[in-house]
Structure 1
Amino acid sequence: MAKSFKPKKDRSGKPNPRGPKPKSAPEPPSEVDMRLNKYLAHCGVASRRQAAEMIKAGRVAVNGSVQAEPGYQIQQGDEVTLDGNKLQPATRMVYLLMNKPKDVLSTVKDEKGRRTVIDLLAGKVIERVFPVGRLDRDTTGLILLTNDGDLAERMTHPRYKMKKVYNATLNSPLTKADLQKVRDGLELEDGPVKVNWIEYLSADKKQEISLEISVGRNRIVRRIFEHLGYEVTKLDRVYLGGLTKKDLKRGWWRPLTDQEVIMLKHFSRQA
């Protein structure tokens, strides 16, 4: 059973479920004259693009009326709800790094009752957070959870090319010819794709591959190898925008340090 982060104690000796407060955390945004999708992002619901999809789906209401336009301007005093639940802007930015186990969904909740990354927080985080991007249910490794919608937007936007490293195990050894094909770039059904680098994890185990990629398309690593006739039997994300799995056991999570938050924001601004 996956274990969760054990909160440190504050000066009073009582557990502090909030974790350390990042010095780099921005001040809460003003509610005046803000686009509706940006407001949802500041409430820790999702990135602006994901929030726009929620709005278009009719899940958001302003002052009791469904508002389907992401660009609708919120005014001070407006009441905004998502699925009937009132939203409030986040008063503190939270950044959590999780080593996701297999068979856990990268979503806030699941209609079928399956375990999600939020369930692994075990109620120890007061703020509303959401996963940045997605890992397949069968994929393990690093995923960021936050209520910083602006950072999530930059990390998932194709323009910023966030670097990610995966270790993959294939159902059969990857030939040198196919390794070179991946290096040269492939044409998939949804367009061309090229990795930053790819290599064997060891000379005598050519079923085990490591690669770095900045593309964020759905199931992209699995589809690269499926295109060449291989099946990915195991996939683990070991690096995310400068963050690694060091000292983070499977199923565990931890707050980012101030320095890591600054680094992540720096990497996500590089186009």
Structure 2
Amino acid sequence: MKIRLDKMLSHLGYGSRKEVKNLLKKQELLVNGQRVKDGKASIETTSDQVTLAGEVLVYEAFVYYMLHKPKGVISATEDARERTVIDLLRPEDLRAGIFPVGRLDKDTTGFLLLTNDGSLAHDLLSPKKKVPKRYLATVDGLVTSKDQALFAEGFEIDGQEWVKPSQLEILSVDTSRQQSHIALTIVEGKFHQVKRMMKTVGKTVIELHRESMGGLTLDQNLKRGDYRQLTEKELAFLKEKAN
């Protein structure tokens, strides 16, 4: 694949094309061992070797990161006051246009996909695709079989918005504390959906964690705040689920 050098550098997070132009004047960039200062130069991404200040640069059209989102960060690309999930990425892993696929509340933990592949993100989030998302939660209140039946049918939340059928599992109940541990699989991504669904049946979510998306489960070796690239097998699996 042929691409302009300035476009490649911009894609890799080295700034706008104007900023890249200034960068090429100041730093030594080599293409196959030859110094190049012109950002308009065309390179072959699969065969040409590009190094900047001694570091080999590899062009990838899209990146896919599995992030274990911690509490206290927001699912956004930038914010003037809050720390975002993009701020968790190392500088060498930043790419132009990278964003979180969907949103997890500030106090919610778990699986969040970061990518610059807008097409895949659209498919994963489209209600028509019915891509499942599984959450684990601790709630105030005792969840019952009656709640399970209601969730399986779909119902109205906040007296105005309908949610599609979902699968509610009761993992355990603590009668002394009047609390329940549940798993909930939904195929939508409405604002605060899990919390609003539980509130409708008189329960309050205390802790919320997304375990999986599209059937792909969060890597248990990832600590909160850590991330890694999806494997080719995981990516192929996720794309199949989104089709």
Is this a same-fold pair by TM over 0.5? yes
1:106 aligned residue:
75
Q: CA distance change for structure 1 residues 231 and 204 in 2, over 3 Å: closer, same or farther?
A: closer
Aligned counterparts of 1:173 and 1:28: Cα–Cα separation in 2: 60
Does 1:135 pair with 2:104? yes
Unpaired runs of 5+ in structure 2? 4-10, 13-58
**Local SS of the residue matching 1:187:** strand
1:67 aligned residue:
none
| Contact 1:174–1:207 under 8 Å retained in 2 | yes
**Local SS of the residue matching 2:182:** strand
Aligned counterparts of 1:91 and 1:227: Cα–Cα separation in 2: 45
Unpaired runs of 5+ in structure 1? 1-26, 30-42, 45-89
**Which deviations, in whole Å up to 9, do the C-alpha atoms of 1:141-181 show, x marking residues without a partner?**
10100011111111111111111000111112223323332
Q: CA distance change for structure 1 residues 121 and 28 in 2, over 3 Å: closer, same or farther?
A: farther
Amino acid at match of 1:136: D
Amino acid at match of 2:113: L
2:233 aligned residue:
259
1:198 aligned residue:
168
**Local SS of the residue matching 1:124:** helix
Does 1:124 pair with 2:97? no
Percentage of matched positions with identical amino acids: 40
1:149 aligned residue:
118
| Contact 2:172–2:180 under 8 Å retained in 1 | no
Aligned partner (choices 234, 244, 268) of residue 217 of structure 2? 244
CA RMSD of aligned residues (A): 2.4
Following TM superposition, by how much is the alpha carbon of 1:203 offset from its aligned partner in structure 2, in angstroms?
5.7
Following TM superposition, by how much is the alpha carbon of 1:185 offset from its aligned partner in structure 2, in angstroms?
2.1
Following TM superposition, by how much is the alpha carbon of 1:213 offset from its aligned partner in structure 2, in angstroms?
0.8
| Contact 2:142–2:173 under 8 Å retained in 1 | no
**Which deviations, in whole Å up to 9, do the C-alpha atoms of 1:112-131 show, x marking residues without a partner?**
2x111011113231412110
Q: Going by fraction, where is strand more abundant, 1 or 2?
A: 2
Moved more, 180-189 or 135-144: 180-189
Runs of 4+, deviation exceeding 6 Å? none
Aligned partner (choices 210, 218, 232) of residue 183 of structure 2? 210
**Which deviations, in whole Å up to 9, do the C-alpha atoms of 1:87-117 show, x marking residues without a partner?**
xxx85210000010011100011122x1110
| Contact 1:195–1:212 under 8 Å retained in 2 | no
Map 1:164-203 onto structure 2 (within 5 A): 164-188=133-157, 189-202=159-172
User: So what's the TM-score if we normalise by structure 2?
Assistant: 0.69
| Contact 1:162–1:241 under 8 Å retained in 2 | yes
Following TM superposition, by how much is the alpha carbon of 1:256 offset from its aligned partner in structure 2, in angstroms?
0.3
**Local SS of the residue matching 2:88:** helix
Q: CA distance change for structure 1 residues 101 and 195 in 2, over 3 Å: closer, same or farther?
A: farther
Look at both structures and tell me which one has the larger radius of gyration over its CA atoms: 2
Aligned partner (choices 113, 120, 127) of residue 158 of structure 1? 127
**Which deviations, in whole Å up to 9, do the C-alpha atoms of 1:4-47 show, x marking residues without a partner?**
xxxxxxxxxxxxxxxxxxxxxxx799xxxxxxxxxxxxx79xxx
Following TM superposition, by how much is the alpha carbon of 1:198 offset from its aligned partner in structure 2, in angstroms?
1.1
Aligned counterparts of 2:238 and 2:161: Cα–Cα separation in 1: 28
Q: Going by fraction, where is helix more abundant, 1 or 2?
A: 2
